[in-house]
Amino acid sequence: MYIVAGLGNPGKEYAGTRHNMGYDALDYLAEKYSVKFNKLKFNSVYGETTINGEKVVLLKPITYMNRSGIAISEIMKFYKLPTENLIVIYDDIDIPAGTLRIRPHGSPGTHNGMKSVTQYVGNNFPRIRIGIGKNPDMDLADYVLQRLSKGEREKINPIIEKAAEAAVEIINKNIDSSMQKYNIKATGEQ
């Protein structure tokens, strides 16, 4: 069994913002696998499906970003899952927009949602980071909570879809296969 958690903030006011890339990736998977987010438990909304014979829970914590670890730890404890069976998808300002980075484990970096997750469940789980870059001329909170323009959305949607597919690749094969297939550098990045 796997849990694929997409980090974001609940509510219409946060839909379509840079900080909700994890939610967006889960929406893509939900559409692809005909999953409805119709369960409310573990401080989350979630739905279930089967991928490659494995039960998979698509989980959106509704604790708000900075408390995501509370929700994820609740469901992990309930199902008694090892952390290796958790996959977290989230936005990352520390990598350029258009970049996708998949790693088997690591530090949370500057991401407060991931700091919460690692505080509650540790560091030993695959993570899929969707690069959103930074805008030095904007307050960080304003930037990550800003809705994407139509042009930005057209550029980031394929990256969000690849992030979702990267999670499926981890479930179907393994983290190494996912990293080889889906790690993407932004145009012009060395």
Active site residues: 19
Q: How far apart are CA 156 and CA 52, in angstroms?
A: 27
- Is 77:16 a contact under the CB 8 Å cutoff? no
Which residue bears the tokens 């992990």?
Answer: 76
Give the burial string for 138-173 (b: 16+ CB within 10 Å, else e): eeeeebbbbebeeeeeeebeebbebbbbbbbbbbee
Q: How far apart are CA 130 and CA 141, in angstroms?
A: 17
Give the closest residue to 66 by CA, choosing from 9, 139, 128, 132.
9
- Is 130:90 a contact under the CB 8 Å cutoff? yes
Longest dimension (CA), the chain: 48
